[in-house]
């Protein structure tokens, strides 16, 4: 329930912020009696598409902490495992030429880790307590190296740009097509038809857009695996993925909005919208390096 409320609150904050931006830009309705105002429509779609993605990016570190219940550590806890975790992230970050990210642990039986944040200098690496219990140090190091590689590659910003462009195109073409359909029906119901068709096309084109974004996300996972192998050693990276395969049933998949923070990949049709490739495919790719 906490995650759902945070998700709703985030979306409300995004909607309010973007509405204010559009008002300041003087962009009102893009649908006129004569048809679409294409200039207003383009501004509308860019603001909502790109703006929404970038606001979510700026809030990503805070939202991850709140949604996952991440507790930050500083390497001075006196708890051997937590202090080792902090030192290992510090060493990997230095090796990657990065500023030290925030490091945290969240209490969950799932075997998982993630990196997030709006920039390389404002990033977070978090691991689950389940991962700490289930893996040996060299395997955890491989996982951490993978996450540090995500930060090093600037993956969070890249994915935000891709998501924003896809969002803008989906919104733009959905309304273009809806306007064409609107002109084919009686004027009395044209606005209702425009609204209905726009809604349906936002969903259908959004699914296609999701496939594009997921493809880029899967590609970044292969790059992060290669980067993790360079930072922590190929054997540690492969060992980490093999251990994840043994424990992939312990990854919580009940929150789709947090999918990019999970390590498991889908199969069949789900593979098209999965943000991560199957673990066996990732291991095969590393073996081929």
- Say if 89 falls within a structural domain: yes
- Say if 97 falls within a structural domain: yes
Is 221 an active-site residue? Answer: no
Tally of domains within the chain = 1
**Do 60 and 118 contact (CB within 8 A), yes or no?**
yes
- Say if 209 falls within a structural domain: no
Long-range contacts of 82-87 (CB under 8 A, 24+ apart): 84/137, 85/127, 85/132, 85/140, 85/144
- Say if 93 falls within a structural domain: yes
Minimum mean pLDDT range among 13-17, 29-33, 163-167: 13-17
Tell me the pLDDT tens digit for each residue of 213-266: 999 999 999 999 999 999 999 999 999 999 988 876 555 545 443 444 455 555
Tell me the pLDDT tens digit for each residue of 66-106: 888 999 999 999 999 999 999 999 999 999 999 999 999 99
Catalytic option among 147, 187, 221, 280: 147
- Say if 82 falls within a structural domain: yes
Q: What integer pLDDT is reported at residue 4 of this predicted model? A: 57
Q: What is the pTM of this model?
A: 0.84
Provide the CATH number for the domain around residue 77.
Answer: 3.30.2010.10
- Say if 3 falls within a structural domain: no
- Say if 42 falls within a structural domain: no
Which H or E run contains 86?
helix 80-95
**Residue 77 sits in which domain range?**
70-152
- Say if 188 falls within a structural domain: no
């Amino acid at each position: 329930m906490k995650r759902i409320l945070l998700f709703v609150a985030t979306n409300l904050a995004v909607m309010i912020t973007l509405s204010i931006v559009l008002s300041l830009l003087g962009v009102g309705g893009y649908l006129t009696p004569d048809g679409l105002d294409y200039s207003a429509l383009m501004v509308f779609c860019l603001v909502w598409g790109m703006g929404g993605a970038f606001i979510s990016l700026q809030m990503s570190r805070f939202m991850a902490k709140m949604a996952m219940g991440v507790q930050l550590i500083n390497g001075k806890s006196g708890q051997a495992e937590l202090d080792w975790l902090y030192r290992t992230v510090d060493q990997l970050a230095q090796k990657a030429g990065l500023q030290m990210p925030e490091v945290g642990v969240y209490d969950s039986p799932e075997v998982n880790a993630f990196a997030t944040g709006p920039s390389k200098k404002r990033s977070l690496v978090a691991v689950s307590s389940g991962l700490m219990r289930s893996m040996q140090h060299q395997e955890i190091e491989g996982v951490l190296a993978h996450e540090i590689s995500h930060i090093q590659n600037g993956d969070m910003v890249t994915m935000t740009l891709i998501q924003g462009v896809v969002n803008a195109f989906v919104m733009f073409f959905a309304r273009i097509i809806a306007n064409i359909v609107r002109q084919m029906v009686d004027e009395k119901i044209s606005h209702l038809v425009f609204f209905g068709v726009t809604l349906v096309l936002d969903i259908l084109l959004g699914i296609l857009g999701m496939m594009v974004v997921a493809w880029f996300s899967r590609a970044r996972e292969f790059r992060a695996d290669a980067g993790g192998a360079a930072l922590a050693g190929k054997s540690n990276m492969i060992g980490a993925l093999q251990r994840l395969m043994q424990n992939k049933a312990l990854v919580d998949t009940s929150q789709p909005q947090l999918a990019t923070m999970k390590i498991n990949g889908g199969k069949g049709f789900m593979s098209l919208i999965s943000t991560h490739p199957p673990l066996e495919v990732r291991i095969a790719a590393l073996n081929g390096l």
